[in-house]
Structure formats: structure tokens, C-alpha cells
Amino acid sequence: MKNNNLDIIQIYRGIAALMVVFFHFWIHMSHFFNDDFIGIRKITSIGSYGVDFFFVLSGFIISYSYVNKDITIKKYLSNRYLRIYLPYIPLGVVFAFGYTFFPNLSFVGVNFSWFATLTLIPIGVTSLVVAWSLMHEILFYFIFIIAIINYKKYNYFLIIWSIFILIYNLSDFKINVYEVDFFISKILHLYNFEFMLGYICFLSIDYFKNKKLAVFFAFVFLISFLWIYFNFDEKIILKVLYSIFSFWLIIIAYQNRNFTFSKNNFFMIMGNFSYSLYLLHVPFQIVFFRLFPHVNMWITFVVGILLTLGCSYIYSQIFEKKLFYFIKSKLKI
């Protein structure tokens, strides 16, 4: 399989990251303006499903990048873990100290674990609120080592893992030791199915040739998602529908893999710093809403979003670009 251009996926990344930013921004708006903003938050809360898209996409990208490729486990782990940890660690440590000395820094309260914060091993909550998703990423990266060692055994492992996930979630299994229970709950969480769906997407990409049919399926699942979202409160069904919608979006991106966008395209730029935007937006909002005068909600919204994007872009240039490639060159990976 050729390493084809996937600019459309970068566009997806930019849009999904912005959805998550809007979702969290209006949570802060509600708190600091003492207003529920019910109508606006109903719409922006769709942004919470941006994380589900990223999980499906991660399962696809990691498979697309490494399955049947000549790569050592050392190089694979170095590449993946450096990309996760380098931008994350500075924020995780800063806010760990922040919450230690200023417990009221977050209006929801954060009872975090230093060990989980520094390692992203799922035995407790991290100081960076959004880093719960990174724990799932790290877990899936680690399990993917099996695919690098033996591709067929990886398929068998996923089947067995899926069975255990279903059994766990259909039962009331609990362990009284918090750290152990937390760890097991992550390993057997339903979110892991979204990574697997991304893997299935990778296995399927060369079999879906009909572009119109792919767009039709994406449209059907999007409309189904929106209808249930605005009429019911069925989170599991919504996550399933949105994950399958994400599946078809990726199929569409692959079908149009030779389509290119300008590097100056707004969403291409956002897609390139979407990880830093995801990491930084909540910490930035925590500080922003305490410093910026709460005079007009729309001025606050526009200024806050623009500053969030600007700071995230700068952060990305430092930690995702310069520092990452500097360390990579030093380690010769």
C-alpha cells in the first residue's frame, strides 16, 4: 500500500479539535457568567464526540502507518511515545503543581495522582483534565506492539480482548482497591472498541471503491446521530453512531487521498497543531476566565477562542516541532 497523501484527515483533525474546544469553552462560559446557555451548550456539546472521532482515527492511523512495515519496536515506541509525552509533560507538571498549591484553580476540583500524571499509566486521574484520553492512546499503542511482532496473533488478541470487554461491561465486576479497579476499567473500557473500529477501517479501505456510497453511509449515520442527539439521551447509541460516522469519514478521506489542500488552509493549519490545541485549551481557559473581564459573552467568546488558537499554535511550534525533532535527532530515531 502506498503512503498516499491524506490531507482531508488533517482537515478532519482541525474541525474535531475545534469542536472539543467549543464544548469546553461554553462549560466555562456557563460557570463564569452564571448562565446555563442551554441552547448554545446543546449544540456545542456535540463537540464532546470529537474525542470519539480521534479514537477511531488513532486506530486507523497507527495501523496505516505501521502494519506490515519494516520497523523495530524500539523505533515504533520512541516515535509514538515522544509525540504523546513531549507536548503533554510540561502542562501536566505545571498543573500538578498548580492544583497542589491552589486547589481551587479548577471550579470542578481535581483529585489527581502524581504517578498517573507523570506516566499516563491508568491507575488514577491526571492533573490535566483532557489527559484521560491519552491513557487510552498509550494503552492502545502498547497493545499494538503485538501487531508489529506478529500480525496474525494481533487479530486473535483483539477478538479475545473484545470478549473480555463485553463481559466486563455487562457485569458488575468491581475490585475494592481503587488503583487496580481504575486500571482494569481502562483496559476493558468500551472506548477500546473505537480504536478497533479504526483498525477495521484500515483493513477495509481498499475494498470500498464507490465514493457516492461512502458519502451516503456517512450522511445516514450523521443524520441518525443528530436525530437521536436532539430527541433522546442515549449516550452509548450516540457514541456508536458517531464512531461509525467517523469510520465512513476516514473511508472518504482515503478514497480522495490524492486531493491536496493549501498548507495555508485554516483547517489544515489547525489539523497540524490539533494535538497541542487539545492539550492546551482547557488549561488556557482556566487562566483566561480568571483574568479576562466578564463584560460581554460574545466578546469573551471571540477573544478567548482566538487566544486559545494562537497560544496553541505557538505551543505546537515549540514542543511538537522544534523540541520533538531536536530530541529525535539526538536519539537518532
The greatest distance separating any two alpha carbons of the chain, rounded to the nearest whole angstrom, comes to: 60
Instruction: Please tell me the distance from the alpha carbon of residue 9 to that of residue 5, in angstroms, as a whole number.
Output: 9
Which contiguous run of DSSP H or E holds residue 187? helix 178-187
Task: Dump pLDDT digits (tens) for 93-105.
Answer: 998 998 888 877 7
Measured between alpha carbons, how far is residue 211 from residues 215, 219, 230, 303 in Å?
6, 12, 29, 40
Nearest residue to 122 via CA among 140, 110, 135: 135
Nearest residue to 46 via CA among 227, 195, 285: 227
Task: Dump pLDDT digits (tens) for 290-301.
Answer: 898 888 889 999
As given in the structure block, the three cell numbers for residue 287 are 487562566
Q: What angle do CA 65, 77, 15 make, to 5 degrees?
A: 50
DSSP secondary structure letters along 252-266: HHHHTTT----TT-H
Judge contact between 82 and 113, C-beta under 8 A: no
**pLDDT for the residue 234:** 86
User: In which residue ranges of the chain is pLDDT below 50?
Assistant: 1-3
**Would the CA dihedral through 194, 313, 37, 30 be positive or negative?**
positive
